[in-house]
Amino acid sequence: MLNGDEAIGTIELVLIMVVLIGLVIIFKAKIVKVLEEIMKKIEEQSKGI
């Protein structure tokens, strides 16, 4: 079994993961849009090389 400190650390890790996954789900469209714009700029600049 986990002692108190290990259990608290595990709970903290799980909560952090839940929050991060939630943020990704909430902001998925914006994240995808930003990444697409970045890739488009990279492609445009690489054509100039």
- DSSP letters, 1-49, are ---HHHHHHHHHHHHHHHHHHHHHHHTHHHHHHHHHHHHHHHHHHHHT-
- For residue 25, pLDDT over 60 is answered with yes
Number of domains in the chain: 1
**Containing structural domain, residue 32:** 4-47
- For residue 1, pLDDT over 60 is answered with no
pTM comes to 0.57
Q: What pLDDT digit, counting tens, does each position of 34-47 carry?
A: 999 999 999 999 88
Cβ atoms of 24 and 31 closer than 8 Å: yes
Q: What pLDDT digit, counting tens, does each position of 14-24 carry?
A: 999 999 999 99
- Return the pLDDT at 2: 59
- For residue 33, pLDDT over 70 is answered with yes
- Return the pLDDT at 34: 96
Per-residue CA distances from 3 to 10, 12, 15, 17, 35 (Å): 11, 14, 18, 21, 42
